[in-house]
């Protein structure tokens, strides 16, 4: 019992500390952001300054695109779930649908929470009518199909410049390495890695390692 109390107390202190520290840190980061960027920029090697700036802008662009796409996807899913549950006639359908959509930024959590709440209310409200319970189930099945096959590839994949297959691989890989936290950061981290990988590929294709002999041969033939 003492061990459980100790663990629960530590968790509560961590949550309170996070709730207090996060706004303070965010405030000072926003206040000093321009000065921090200027200071870091002054430390960059002069010969590679422009290249590093370009990479940083590309990373900022893909992460911002991910955030915009994620917010838009949550709004679309919340609207779909809310309207679908209202059409079915589920009590508290608007609240449940909006909640499920707004927490869909956490992989699988939004669908699981919304589905569990909806089925629980449906069993109380519609029992023993299997058709109406099945209609509630169908709303979430269609919502998950849209999220996995339309919204994520179009909104997230297009905004971060990654193929849907790479997005799925990133979710599985980061989830296996870091668990739940890994799934949260998988897509933006993969987008940043994608920016670096594309830059490395461009450098390789423009180097003599890629076409050194072929390039020199063409120059010799042109002179002849």
pLDDT value for 161 = 67
The Cα–Cα gap between 109 and 88 comes to 22
Same domain, 121 and 177: no
Answer with the one of 113, 128, 159 that is the final residue of a domain: 159
pLDDT at 7: 67
144 and 204 fall within a common domain:
no
pLDDT digits (tens, 9 = 90+) for 44-65: 888 888 888 888 888 888 888 8
Question: Which residue among 142, 159, 176 closes a domain?
Answer: 159
Identify whether residues 66 and 137 lie together within a single domain.
yes
- The per-residue pLDDT for 19 is 75
pLDDT (tens digit per residue) in 91-130: 888 888 888 888 877 666 777 888 888 888 888 887 877 8
**Same domain? 143 vs 173:** no
- Read off the tokens for 171: 């979710």
Identify whether 52 is part of a domain: no
73 within a domain of the structure (yes/no): yes
Digitized pLDDT (tens) for each residue of the chain, 224 residues in all? 777 666 666 667 777 777 778 788 888 888 888 888 888 888 888 888 888 888 888 888 888 888 888 888 888 888 888 888 888 888 888 888 888 888 877 666 777 888 888 888 888 887 877 888 888 888 888 888 887 777 777 776 666 666 667 777 877 788 778 776 777 777 788 888 888 888 888 888 888 777 766 555 555 455 45
Residue 57 lies in a domain: no
The mean of the pLDDT values for the chain is: 79
Same domain, 219 and 143: no
Structural domain tally of the chain?
A: 3
Query: 95 in a domain, yes or no?
Result: yes
> Is residue 110 assigned to a domain?
yes
Is position 44 within any domain? no
pTM of the predicted model over 0.95 = no
Is 174 within the bounds of a domain?
A: yes
Domain region containing 215: 162-224
Q: Which of 102, 125, 159 is the last residue of a domain?
A: 159
Same-domain status, 147 and 171:
no
- Please give the pLDDT value at position 136: 83
Residues 136, 73 share a domain: yes
| Domain membership flag for residue 53 | no
């Amino acid at each position: 019992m003492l061990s459980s109390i100790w663990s629960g107390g530590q968790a509560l202190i961590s949550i309170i500390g996070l709730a207090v520290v996060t706004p303070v840190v965010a405030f000072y980061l926003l206040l000093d952001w321009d000065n921090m960027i200027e200071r870091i920029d002054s430390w960059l090697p002069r010969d590679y300054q422009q290249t590093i700036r370009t990479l940083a802008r590309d990373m900022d662009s893909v992460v911002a695109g991910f955030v915009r796409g994620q917010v838009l996807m949550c709004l679309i899913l919340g609207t779909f779930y809310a309207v679908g549950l209202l059409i079915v006639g589920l009590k508290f359908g608007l609240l449940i649908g909006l909640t499920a959509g707004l927490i869909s930024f956490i992989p699988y959590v939004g669908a699981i929470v919304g589905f569990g709440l909806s089925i629980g209310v449906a069993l109380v409200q519609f029992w023993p009518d299997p058709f109406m319970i099945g209609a509630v189930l169908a709303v979430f099945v269609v919502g998950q199909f849209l999220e996995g096959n339309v919204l994520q590839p179009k909104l997230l994949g297009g905004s971060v410049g990654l193929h849907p297959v790479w997005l799925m691989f990133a979710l599985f890989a980061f989830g296996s390495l870091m668990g739940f936290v890994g799934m949260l950061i998988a897509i933006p981290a993969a987008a940043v890695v994608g920016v670096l990988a594309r830059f490395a590929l461009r450098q390789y294709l423009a180097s003599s390692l890629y076409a050194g002999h072929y390039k020199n041969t063409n120059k010799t033939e042109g002179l002849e």
